Structure 1
Amino acid sequence: MSRTKLRAELMQELEHAVRRASAQGVIFGQTVADRAGISNSDMDCLDFLLLEGRVTAGRLAEITGLTTGAITGVVDRLEKAGFVRRERDADDRRKVFITPIPENIAKFGKLYEHMQRAMLKAWEAYSDAELRLLLRFATQSYHTMLAATAELKAMIEAPKEKRAKEPAKERAKATKPVRAP
């Protein structure tokens, strides 16, 4: 078999492995989110917040790829559930930080402990160089997904924006059913 064909097969295997891990991660996250009483996407935003620490809504929007409007809804729901609080900046009262409430998060955080221990144990088998490679891969994957999400949103929103600019008469014509002769 040619080197090119072997490489293509290897890359496809890697893609499938990443997709399986990602899908299983979504299912795992949904299970934890259900237990915590919030949506999976809100749980993902909370995870970003835990990784970043105290941040503004704008920063949370930036790292998640969501709009600031969507983040406002997420923060409202997380605050209502008792997982975060809004705190005004002492120096600039216009600036508001989103701050996790560790004692409330700890209640469901225990559900991650088994998985974290298993992952750490599996990673012990890797050399430092392999761990750096995996870190580079995971970091690049995040940035690729963030960019792909932005492109997808732009592609989805473009037709809506175009249609919103069309005169109402033209939109009505375009949506009128066509009768067969």
Structure 2
Amino acid sequence: MTSVTPEGRPRRRKVAVIKGALRALNNQLSLFNHQVSAKVTLKPVDFDCLELLNLHGPLSPSALAKQAGLHPATMTGVLDRLQRAGWITRDRPPDAADRRAVVVSATGDRDGDVYRHLAGMNAKMDDVCAGYTDAELDVISDFLRRTTMAGKDATGDLAGESG
């Protein structure tokens, strides 16, 4: 175990505060997303998968399942619900060698439903960002990008653990 010098204690406290704030942010965004998903009559997991498609799509069902950390059988149920509700399409790529290959795409037809419920949060985030300089926003952006990558790596590490 390494000892922490008195000079290192303030930094450790600052890092602990940041980690605590990230946990609180994660919790609050989860609660917010649950509210938005309820407003558009989606299960939270369905909303999460739709968001992943909007960020990274179109994707194969297996790639989406991997992104979402879901079992492929669970993903089939999610995709069935999203397709029935008009949120996604499942199409066969014309150039696919395997006739069973499917690509999932968000239709965008109902994006207005989601954006209407996100508008308040987007306005609040604009207000928050207005309080920072461009240089500070660059640092915040870098921090969030690197934190996202750390979370992705940690998720992959946990997924690779044998139970």
Alignment TM class, shorter chain as reference? 0.7 to 0.9
2:103 aligns with 97
Residue deviations 1:71-119, cap 9 Å, x none? 3332222112221111221222543221112222322331001101211
2:118 aligns with 112
Letter in 2 for 1:14: I
Cα distance change on mapping 1:139 and 1:86 into 2, 3 Å: same
CA distance in structure 1 between the partners assigned to 2:115 and 2:61 by the alignment: 23
Question: Is 1:82 paired with 2:86?
Answer: yes
What SS class does the counterpart of residue 133 from structure 1 fall into? helix
Cα distance change on mapping 1:34 and 1:102 into 2, 3 Å: same
Tell me, which stretches of 5 or more residues in structure 1 are unaligned?
Answer: 160-181
Letter in 2 for 1:79: Q
1:73 aligns with 77
Aligned residues: 157
- Could you say which structure has the larger radius of gyration? 1
What SS class does the counterpart of residue 109 from structure 2 fall into? helix
Tell me, which stretches of 5 or more residues in structure 2 are unaligned?
Answer: none
What SS class does the counterpart of residue 45 from structure 1 fall into? helix
Cα distance change on mapping 1:54 and 1:91 into 2, 3 Å: same
Letter in 2 for 1:57: P
CA RMSD of aligned residues (A): 2.2
CA distance in structure 1 between the partners assigned to 2:100 and 2:149 by the alignment: 30
CA distance in structure 2 between the partners assigned to 1:59 and 1:113 by the alignment: 30
CA distance in structure 2 between the partners assigned to 1:59 and 1:153 by the alignment: 15
Give the TM-score normalised by structure 1.
Answer: 0.75
2:146 aligns with 140
Following superposition, the deviation at residue 46 of structure 1 comes to: 0.9
Residue among 116, 127, 131 paired with 1:125? 131
Residues 89 and 104 of structure 2 are in contact (CA less than 8 Å); yes or no, is this contact kept in structure 1? yes
- Sequence identity, in percent? 27
Larger RCO of the pair (alpha carbons < 8 Å, separation 6+): 2
Residue among 33, 41, 54 paired with 1:50? 54
Which one has the bigger helix percentage?
1
**Structure 1 consecutive aligned stretches of length 4 or more whose deviation exceeds 4 Å:** none
Question: Is 1:60 paired with 2:64?
Answer: yes
Residues 65 and 146 of structure 1 are in contact (CA less than 8 Å); yes or no, is this contact kept in structure 2? no
